[in-house]
């Protein structure tokens, strides 16, 4: 066994084999996979192994498309052919118009990735799948490339081709410990000896947290028991004369695919069962859980109604085995938070179907630092400290129970709530707040007009439209108060703090005391990595000279890793997170200054405290740090308050605001207003797939700076011109917003993709942001938005349609 290598991949299921194979495809041959038993001896061997193109966003569609192409190529390779039933086709059923509308959106989104889905009615569903009934059925989504594959053959083929490229695979080699050294390299200790390496990959399947414990980390991954059975031969299959399409049924929580002359039928029962929470038997290898068909009788009854032939068919075998889920159902593929040279590819509940794509994207991240797609939707750092075993299991149960039910816009499911709160959460609830989730934080979405107010789930504008309009109107004409929980906040100190940040940001970093700046961090390819504000706070009784770095609530682990990994040994810089210690109260509207002056001593005039200023003060008697910044487009102040004093500050602001018509507002009002101002959301509009010039952020780039991360790559990219250009659009409909991922068309050609959409209540326009072909980026250019199957005219307009001169923000 080798004692030194570049990468060690731990785990020999689809995740590990795919990663190993794709590392060799990216040019790294000095790589090793270690497996405690035989390849595919965990979850992989009993996988139902369905291979679909369907995904909830474009990244997921892209990686699944890669999987399908890879598996087809492998199946046709004469050196090591594998059994792959490619393009049998598959149907996702629906019995409500809302589900059908969602399928139309996903078809629009997938088209931008070169994937063609088809919307079919109930009769066409039955024509293509003659075993199903059309009772209580509206139609479905047809995936022409759906299929299934032999899981063991697939993994062996990936390992075969990886070995051929120079990789090595060590079976029956349990890992016993992991040691990280001062230079961030690793030693992988195994029962057969030690392997020194640069990089470790956790591909441990349902033993993910056994491997994680060796690194001193916990991953938000839990396992669920999952059952399927194999039927005897069904005459209707032979009679059909073609292979049965795959079927996924959110109506009755089951799926099926053809297996020889019968069917494989799997269940997502409501009475589901977590597995392995208290540890896993070391001898659980190529093993199954005891059969428990009684648990699935409720969904089995629904399957009988949808597929009557099952009632007359015998069961040939029952499989009940563990499958892994994460806290939001999507895998964790990428850097392990808080660790260097450590990656994971875990929580792959649909591992065989999409594992080829996951390994592809992970290998790109390991070798090149980034993948070809923005991978935030599967990034392990999208969760922070709240993701413990108990919470993960609750969310895993909820996701399992809703396996085939996609999330609607503004849908926030109830399991595991509230995970993160502030002292104001119960106060806001008493005020009638409806809450949304942001990285586990409960954040006010809007204030309900009545306790019984519950908008319907839809891709249209919902019943909260007028409620949000009223909140926006009060912010525009009077003053509003909003709590922004979970906003990421780092305190940066040290004599080299500004020099360090100057290297991290692509634009100017002001050193002026009591001033706030906004800037962008790029990766080494010149693409957008993060967005942050920085505020210079002079020394006071609250601390030394320091910089406050603020960014999106979900970016806490992501940004901390990026900053700390670029600290130089000779730099005097310290970074400490204040994210869980401080909460922001936003005071916004033309009367905001009057409210602030009524409850905080000092001169708050525009001359004494202009836009982009920062000052320490007291709100009443609550210590606070106030920044004159705005995400709404109105005169506004961010008031940062220690959580221990948050309620006191809130009471002082409410009392001071009463004479000025102060009312609460929520995140949905903020989203509407930021669309009108041309303000962007991280990981909706700000993506690693585009550089700042393509994103319309030219004013934040200073190429004459001698040194910042990504500078040289950005210069080269600029010489080649933009591939896409960020634009603001007006959508010619009042019925629904544009949804992220939807395709923009000219004729049959996709010319752009929506990133965000919402109604602008102050300008009375349906607004959207998008990346489009550069030739279409000028105002008055038109295209058609595929909005849930309807083609709607979309016109490019100038950015910031509300107060483009920023006169209201500046007061």
pLDDT above 90 for 527 = yes
Which residue's structure tokens are 């909706």? 684
Indicate the pairing of strand 4-10 with strand 31-34: parallel
pLDDT digits (tens, 9 = 90+) for 372-426: 999 999 999 999 989 899 999 999 999 999 999 999 999 999 999 999 999 999 9
Which residue's structure tokens are 């109107």? 473
CA distance 342 to 329: 22
pLDDT above 90 for 463 = yes
**Percent of residues, the chain, with pLDDT higher than 70:** 100
Q: Quick check: helix, strand or coil at residue 756?
A: strand
- Would you put residue 52 in left (φ > 0), alpha (ψ -120 to 50) or beta? beta
Q: Quick check: helix, strand or coil at residue 151?
A: helix
Query: Comparing 41-45, 530-534, 765-769, 784-788, which segment has the lowest mean pLDDT?
Result: 41-45
Which two structure tokens, joined as six digits, stand for 588? 């916004």
Distances from the Cα of 235 to the Cα of 89, 132, 308, angstroms: 20, 14, 12
What integer pLDDT is reported at residue 652 of this predicted model?
Answer: 98
Contact 386, 49 (CB under 8 A): no
Query: Which residues make Cβ contacts (< 8 Å) with residue 440, sequence separation at least 6?
Result: 383, 384, 386, 387, 419, 420, 486
pLDDT digits (tens, 9 = 90+) for 106-147: 999 999 999 999 999 999 999 999 999 999 999 999 999 999
> Based on the number of CB atoms within 10 Å of its own CB, is 470 exposed (0-12), middle (13-18) or buried (19 or more)?
middle
pLDDT above 90 for 733 = yes
CA distance 354 to 67: 6
Tell me the CB-side half-sphere exposure of residue 329, using CA atoms within 13 A: 17
The DSSP output letter for 268 is: -
CA distance 333 to 345: 4
Q: Quick check: helix, strand or coil at residue 254?
A: strand
Ordered DSSP codes for 50-106:
EE----SSHHHHHHHHHHHHHHHHHHT-TTS---EETT--EEEEESSHHHHHHHHHH
pLDDT digits (tens, 9 = 90+) for 471-510: 999 999 999 999 999 999 999 999 999 999 999 999 999 9
pLDDT above 90 for 350 = no
CA distance 611 to 65: 48
Indicate the pairing of strand 90-94 with strand 118-121: unpaired
Cβ–Cβ contacts within 10 Å for residue 699, how many?
A: 8
CA distance 264 to 738: 38
Strand partners, 10: 34, 202
Contact 674, 631 (CB under 8 A): yes
CA distance 725 to 729: 12
CA distance 729 to 338: 39
Q: Quick check: helix, strand or coil at residue 572?
A: coil
pLDDT digits (tens, 9 = 90+) for 45-97: 999 999 999 999 999 999 999 999 999 999 999 999 999 999 999 999 999 99
**Residue 461, phi then psi, degrees to nearest 5:** -60, 130
E-strand ranges in 111-150 read 118-121, 139-143, 147-149
CA distance 201 to 593: 53
What integer pLDDT is reported at residue 123 of this predicted model?
Answer: 98
Tell me the residue length of the chain: 811
Contact 528, 691 (CB under 8 A): yes
The DSSP output letter for 507 is: S
What integer pLDDT is reported at residue 163 of this predicted model?
Answer: 98
Which residue's structure tokens are 């102040």? 637
∠ at Cα 615 (607, 537), nearest 5°? Answer: 125
pLDDT digits (tens, 9 = 90+) for 191-240: 999 999 999 999 999 999 999 999 999 999 999 999 999 999 999 999 99
Which residue's structure tokens are 């209580």? 136
Under the banding of pLDDT at 50, 70 and 90, the label for residue 351 is confident
User: What average pLDDT does this structure show over 280-291?
Assistant: 94
Cβ–Cβ contacts within 10 Å for residue 314, how many?
A: 10
pLDDT digits (tens, 9 = 90+) for 672-704: 999 999 999 999 999 999 999 999 999 999 999
Contact 59, 360 (CB under 8 A): no
Which two structure tokens, joined as six digits, stand for 307? 């597929």
Query: Comparing 31-35, 177-181, 347-351, which segment has the lowest mean pLDDT?
Result: 347-351
Which two structure tokens, joined as six digits, stand for 598? 């009524």
Distances from the Cα of 236 to the Cα of 147, 262, 263, 480, angstroms: 19, 9, 11, 64
CB crowding 176-204: b at 16 or more within 10 Å, else e = eebebeeeebbbbbbeeeebebbbbbbbb
pLDDT digits (tens, 9 = 90+) for 738-769: 999 999 999 999 999 999 999 999 999 999 99
Which residue's structure tokens are 């969602």? 102
Please state the pTM of the whole predicted model: 0.97
Residue 334: closest CA among 199, 140, 437, 473: 199
Which two structure tokens, joined as six digits, stand for 488? 């990421």
Residue 92: closest CA among 144, 49, 130, 42: 144
> What dihedral angle (degrees, nearest 10) is formed by the CA atoms of 427, 431, 436, 438?
-30
What integer pLDDT is reported at residue 385 of this predicted model?
Answer: 84
Under the banding of pLDDT at 50, 70 and 90, the label for residue 811 is confident
Chain-centroid distance, C-alpha 213: 25
**Residue 755, phi then psi, degrees to nearest 5:** -110, -40
């Amino acid at each position: 066994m080798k004692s030194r290598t570049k990468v060690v991949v731990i785990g020999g299921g689809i995740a590990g084999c795919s990663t190993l194979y794709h590392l060799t495809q990216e040019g790294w041959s000095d790589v090793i996979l270690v497996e405690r038993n035989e390849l595919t001896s965990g979850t992989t061997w009993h996988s139902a192994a369905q291979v679909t193109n369907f995904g909830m966003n474009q990244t997921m569609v892209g990686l699944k498309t890669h999987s399908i192409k890879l598996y087809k190529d492998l199946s046709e390779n004469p050196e090591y052919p594998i059994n792959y039933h490619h393009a049998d086709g598959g149907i996702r059923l629906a019995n409500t118009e809302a589900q059908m509308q969602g399928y139309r959106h996903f078809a629009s989104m997938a088209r931008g990735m070169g994937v063609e889905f088809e919307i079919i009615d109930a009769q066409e569903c039955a024509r293509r799948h003659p075993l199903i009934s059309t009772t209580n059925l509206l139609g479905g989504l047809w995936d022409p490339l759906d299929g299934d594959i032999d899981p063991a053959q697939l993994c062996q083929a990936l390992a075969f081709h990886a070995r051929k490229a120079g990789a090595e695979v060590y079976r029956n080699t349990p890992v016993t410990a992991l040691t990280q050294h001062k230079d961030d390299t690793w030693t992988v200790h195994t029962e057969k000896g030690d392997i020194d390496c640069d990089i470790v990959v956790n591909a441990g399947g349902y033993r993910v947290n056994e491997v994680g414990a060796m690194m001193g980390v916990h991953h938000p991954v839990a396992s669920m028991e999952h059952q399927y059975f194999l039927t005897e031969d069904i005459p209707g299959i032979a009679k059909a004369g073609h292979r049965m399409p795959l079927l996924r049924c959110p109506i009755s929580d089951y799926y099926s695919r053809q297996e020889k002359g019968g069917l494989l039928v799997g269940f997502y029962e409501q009475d589901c069962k977590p597995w392995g929470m208290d540890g896993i038997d070391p001898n659980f290898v190529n093993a199954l859980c005891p059969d428990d068909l009684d648990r699935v009788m409720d969904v089995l009854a629904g399957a009988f109604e949808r597929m009557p032939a099952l009632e007359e068919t015998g069961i040939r075998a029952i499989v009940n085995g563990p499958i892994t889920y994460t806290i939001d159902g999507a895998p964790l593929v990428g850097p392990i938070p808080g660790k260097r040279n450590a990656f994971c590819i875990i929580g792959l509940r649909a591992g065989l179907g999409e594992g080829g794509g996951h390994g592809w994207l992970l290998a790109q991240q390991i070798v090149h630092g980034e993948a070809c797609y923005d991978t935030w939707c599967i990034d392990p750092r999208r969760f922070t400290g709240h993701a413990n075993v108990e919470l993960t299991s609750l969310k895993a149960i909820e996701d399992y129970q809703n396996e085939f039910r996609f999330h609607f816009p503004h849908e926030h499911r109830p399991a595991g709530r509230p995970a993160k709160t502030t002292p104001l959460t119960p106060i806001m609830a008493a005020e009638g707040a409806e809450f949304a989730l942001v990285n586990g934080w409960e954040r006010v979405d809007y204030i309900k007009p009545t306790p019984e107010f519950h908008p319907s789930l839809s891709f249209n504008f919902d019943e909260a439209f007028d409620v949000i309009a009223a909140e926006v109107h009060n912010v525009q004409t009077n003053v509003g108060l909003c709590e922004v929980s979970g906003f990421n906040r780092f305190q940066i100190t040290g004599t080299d703090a500004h020099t360090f940040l100057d290297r991290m940001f692509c634009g100017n970093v002001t050193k002026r005391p009591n001033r706030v700046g906004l800037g962008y961090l790029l990766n080494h390819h010149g693409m957008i990595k993060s967005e942050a504000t920085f505020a210079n706070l002079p020394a006071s009784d609250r601390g030394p000279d320091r910089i406050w770095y603020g960014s999106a609530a979900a970016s806490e682990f992501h940004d901390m890793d990026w900053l700390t990994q670029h600290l130089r040994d000779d730099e005097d810089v310290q970074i400490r997170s204040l994210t869980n210690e401080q909460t922001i109260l936003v005071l916004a509207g033309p009367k905001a200054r009057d409210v602030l002056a009524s409850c905080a001593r000092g001169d708050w005039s525009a001359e004494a405290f202009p836009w982009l200023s920062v000052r320490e003060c007291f709100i009443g008697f609550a210590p606070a740090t106030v920044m004159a910044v705005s995400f709404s487009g109105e005169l506004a102040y961010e008031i940062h308050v220690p959580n221990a004093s948050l309620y006191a500050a809130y009471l002082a602001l409410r009392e001071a605001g009463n004479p000025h018509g102060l009312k609460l507002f929520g995140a949905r009002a903020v989203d509407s207003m930021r669309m009108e101002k041309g303000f962007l959301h991280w990981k909706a509009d700000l993506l690693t797939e585009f550089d700042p010039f393509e994103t319309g952020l030219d004013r934040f780039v200073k190429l004459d700076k001698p040194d910042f991360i990504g500078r040289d790559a950005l210069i080269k990219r600029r010489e080649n011109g933009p591939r896409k250009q960020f634009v603001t659009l007006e959508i010619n409909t009042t019925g629904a917003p544009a949804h992220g991922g939807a395709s923009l068309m000219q004729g049959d050609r996709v010319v752009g993709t929506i990133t965000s959409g919402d109604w602008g209540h102050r300008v009375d326009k349906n607004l959207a942001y998008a990346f489009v072909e550069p030739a279409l980026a000028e105002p008055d250019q038109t295209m058609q938005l595929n909005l849930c199957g309807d083609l709607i005219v979309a016109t490019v307009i100038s950015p910031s349609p509300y107060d483009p001169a920023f006169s209201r923000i500046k007061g």
